[in-house]
Each structure stands twice: as structure tokens, then as C-alpha cells.
Structure 1
């Protein structure tokens, strides 16, 4: 293998001290021009590529950057409306501090340890750590602050930020039931990885993604208060993808008594449901009412504008950055409230 050329090799070949050679690359104004030119020429002839920035940053003890870790494909940050808004808030907070961002993939288990251990960051923001003890273990090994954008973990030692999913979902179902709807269906986010289709309460109770489970429980709590038999409410599990929603809609609306109200666990799911209904000549909200969950900006401009449960996404992203870069010693769990945003996609059912 070719020998790695180091700064000491350059200094020896140029007949200068290692400190002088270091100044040539890091503080050139401190070195006489003729010495600087000689050292640079010898470095080029030896194939020296310059000092390793990682070493300098690690010696400084702070790199002014944070890592965003997710087990989702990295395209998730650009395709999902919730993730895009969260990243916009995180980016804005980092811009205000002149800090950088590194996206760290946790999809590949074999490369996970390397990705986390080699990231040049001052701390990590973890997206959804349900069933992610290995990820938490690795971030703890780095001895850097980290915060989870999720409250699902039972580990009280993990700094976490999230919303009250149960209360938000309960408000959504209460809104539709108060309008007079009695035939409901739930378009859910995942309860487990790589699974779609009709789901039972056994699968809901065993969910590895607690936000999905808590939203079902919130929906059912409100429906039960309105005297609706929750055992008759169909649940279709999706992976938050349009293709899954299309399958769910086809399954629901070929039933003898299709729903008049859809409880979608994300705005992205709700948008796909709106499009499916419109393509088949079903009017929203006259034939079917649809409510989402997230409150992304696009929800105000859909056709019709989407009634949704809004999360304070920007405030959550801002707080996550503050906890890593401003007050890294802080721990604890921060729970935000949600807000019902009533728009044009919900109305009383037809008489």
C-alpha cells in the first residue's frame, strides 16, 4: 500500500520544523514567502494533501454542527411534508447560529456504528427512536448530547420532544363525531415495519411505533364517548405512502357501508385520500369528510383545504437545536399541545 504522507514527512524533507510546516498550511502569513513556497512545492511533490480538518476540529472540542439521524431513507427529508417543515425549522435555527447540519443514515445496520461514530458534530437529533436501542446506545457512546423528536421511548434518561398524540387524535375524532358522522375509518401510519393492510387491535397494541398506537387509542376514546362501536371501525395500516393509501381506499369503498369520515394519521395520507376520492367523483366534504394530522403549510391550500390536527413543528425543531447547541446539559421530555384547524374538508354527513 502507498505510504500516507504526513505533515512531519513534509517538514523533514523541507528542512523545517513541524511547527513551521503547520503554519504554512494554517497560518501562512507567519511564514516568510520563500520558506512557504519551498514547503508548498515539496508537499506537492510528495503528494501531501494538507492537514486533516477532522483532527483540527476534534482538538478544538467543538465543530458547530449537529447531526440528524433517521432510520428512514434520506429522501424522507425531501419528500415528506412533515419532515421538510421540521428540517426547515432546524435549518433556520442553525443558520441563526452559523452552524452546519449533517444527515446521518441509520438504515444500514452494518454501517450504523461507523456513521454515528465518524460524524463531525456537536450532538444529534434523532428522528423517531421507537425500537431503536442500538441507535441510542451508539449516540451515548459518543458522549455527545442528543435529543429525540419523539416521546415514545420509556427511557426517562433520553431528552425527547414530541406532542400529545392521544389528545390530538381524540380532538380529531370528536370533531367529526360532533358533526354527526357515525361511519368512520382510520388510515394509519405504520404499527410495524414493512407491513400494510387491514389491522386489528392486537396489532395496534403490539405496535413498535407508539405514536400510531396512541393516535388509534385517542380516536377510539372520542368515538366511544359518542356511543360509536369502535370494534366496527376499520383500520388500514400504511407506510405513509401514496400507493398504500390507494389500496386502503379501494378496500374501504368497496365495502357495503363505506365510511363517511376518514381519520388520516398524517397530512400526507390525507392528501392521497383526497386525490383518490376526487378522481372517482366523490365530493369532499359532501360525500366524505377527511381530517389529517400534522398541520403542514400545504394543508391550507389543498382542494378543499384540509381540516387537520396541527403540530407546532417549527417550535419543536427550534427547541431541538437549542437543546443541542445552546444548552447541551439539559435533559428531560418536552410535550407540546396540538391544535384543531377546521377547514373545508369536514362537514356534517348527508342526511
Structure 2
């Protein structure tokens, strides 16, 4: 039950009143865990249940009669924004596992604005969430501390950086994904390989760039700064970035876009110039969103297990809600290169020599 209900339910015998919050403190568990024991829920480990029940008996705790039915278990799934198919894939994974566990899901977007984040926190207190899955680190330290005080379990998916969060994280192998994408283009004979990078503040963007750089360096090819252009994971930046690369005196013969949406924007830029993929330029994306298998041509990309990341996050936050520790504080799921029709050996005026 919620922290908001903690002061409403007290012991009525013996040693004076005691709140659920105090019981939780003495038991070394969260307020929602004590509530689950009080309400006879099964999702509590036997050891924790025994410890809490002993304290409840010692304090003479009696649950206040309820005039309404018990609320359903809820998880909060919080994004910075919801304007990407990437978010939909994570929601799909979260919903599958939460539904099977009989847990409801509340999806919110805070848009990186402190006012939206504070409103979300007020709503979180009101609905007494059992756990939070944060698909952004864009909460200020005050709100992080409020989550801790409330005793609400927290899991961070695809952390944006290295925030000082005492919370498990779930991500993908971004470095190896960037490495594999670039190695694939190198294996086809490309030597001038452009990169449309993601926002540098994001840990996943930096890891994908580092993988790109590592593959080039291993092949004895220095990184050409003119071939690396900024992006923001959205199609418009892929379109703009590709045009920037095409305007170079010697454009690249291949392009690695650090997201599928940027790759689709790049393909549109090539189409508008009368250039073909992969004949005039090979393109590789990152994510493997459902629509890219139907693009023209179908996109070679690095599959990021987005739905699986959501599934792991739910399982982790439910374990925390039962006062069980996760197997690892940092889970990194593997990525996989999916080869389709958007990549081929280079040809034309910019063609490099055969692979070394």
C-alpha cells in the first residue's frame, strides 16, 4: 500500500500507535512491502513476510477497515518523450511481463521539463505505485531523493549517462553494436565511412561512436572528423547529416547512422538527390524497429533488444518490490547485426580498393 496511507493505518493496542512507515523502517523493507504483507499479497518472500508479520504482532498492529476495495498493483513507466517507435517497443515488452504478473502499468512522459517531472511525482504519490521504470535519467536529484524516501523501487532503462542513482540499470551492448556495424561496412570494402552520431550527452551515443572508432582503428583507418556529423536520433537530423556528408569534396561511400530513424532520414536525402541505396551509398542503422524491414530498400541495422529490455526491467523492479536483490545491478543485453538490402560493396567514382 502507498506511503500516503502509512499514517492512516496504525496500531490500536498496547504500545501506542505505530505507522506502516515505522514498521517498514524496523523491518528494513519498503512501505509497499509492508502493505503487501498487511493485505495478504503473495508477492513477498517468506523470510520478509515472517519478519514483517513479527513486527506487526509485536506492535499490536490492526489494519483499519477499508470502505473501498483494495487497489491493483501498479508500475510507473516514465519516458522523456513518447514520439518514437523506440518507446513503443519498450512499452510492448513492459506490458507483456506486467500483464502476466497481474500488474497494471501507467505510462508517462516528462519531456525533460522540471514542471512535468514534479507533476508526475505528485501523481505517483497519489496512485501509490509499487515501482518505477525510468527510461530517462532526466529527473533532478530532489526527485530522486523523494523516490528513495517513499521506498518505491526504481530501475533505469538505457541510462543517459552516469547518474548517481542507487538503482539497477538495463541497457544494450551499444559499443559492440557500433563496432559490428562498422566492421560490416569495412568487410564490404568501404574505407570512407560516415557516421551520423547521436546526442553526445547520451551514454549510448558515445558508446556507438566508440565502437565505430574502434573498428576503423583496428583496420588501420584514422577517424576523419569531417565524416562524423551530429544527430539527435530523429529522421530530420539524419536527413540533414546525410546532406552535409554528400556536400563534402569526397563524400563517403557508406554511412552508419546511430539510429534507424536517422538512417531513414539519410535514405530520403539520398533519394532526393537521385542517388540509390546501396548502389551509390550503403546505409546501416541501429535499433531494428519493425518498420525498417519494409523500407526501400530494407535496412541493414543493429538489432537492439528493446522489448527484452522492457521485460528485464519489469522482472527486476518486481524483485525489488519483494525485497529481493537483482542478479546484477547492471544488465547489458546483446545486440545483433541484421543484414538486409541497404548495404553492398562500393562502386563508382568514390570506390576504394579491395579490402586489405
TM, length-normalised to structure 1: 0.72
Superposed CA offset, 1:162-195 (max 9, x none): 012111111111111111111121112212xxxx
- Equivalent of 1:136 in 140, 144, 147: 144
- Equivalent of 1:330 in 305, 325, 330: 325
Structure 1: unaligned runs, 5 residues or longer: 1-53, 192-207
Partner Cα separation in structure 2 for residue 55 and residue 323 of structure 1: 33
Backbone CA RMSD of aligned residues = 2.3
Partner Cα separation in structure 1 for residue 76 and residue 113 of structure 2: 17
Larger Rg: 1
Partner Cα separation in structure 2 for residue 231 and residue 212 of structure 1: 18
| 1:21-170 alignment runs, 5 A limit | 63-72=72-81, 76=82, 79-106=83-110, 107-119=112-124, 120=127, 121-129=129-137, 133-151=141-159, 152-153=161-162, 155=164, 157-170=166-179
User: Aligned pair count?
Assistant: 274
Contact map agreement 2:238 2:264 (CA 8 A) in 1: no
Contact map agreement 2:237 2:265 (CA 8 A) in 1: no
Contact map agreement 1:186 1:262 (CA 8 A) in 2: yes
> Structure 1's 71 and 219: CA in aligned 2 closer, same or farther, altered over 3 A?
same
Partner Cα separation in structure 1 for residue 256 and residue 68 of structure 2: 52
Structure 2: unaligned runs, 5 residues or longer: 1-65, 352-356
Partner Cα separation in structure 2 for residue 179 and residue 269 of structure 1: 22
- Which shows bigger deviation, 165-174 or 330-339? 330-339
TM, length-normalised to structure 2: 0.71
> Structure 1's 102 and 184: CA in aligned 2 closer, same or farther, altered over 3 A?
same
Runs of 4+, deviation exceeding 6 Å: none
- Equivalent of 1:340 in 312, 319, 337: 337
Contact map agreement 1:312 1:336 (CA 8 A) in 2: yes
Contact map agreement 1:130 1:209 (CA 8 A) in 2: no
Partner of residue 36, structure 1: none
Partner Cα separation in structure 2 for residue 269 and residue 134 of structure 1: 34
- Equivalent of 2:240 in 247, 251, 261: 247
* Cα shift at 1:142: 2.5
Partner Cα separation in structure 2 for residue 55 and residue 148 of structure 1: 36
Partner of residue 207, structure 2: 214
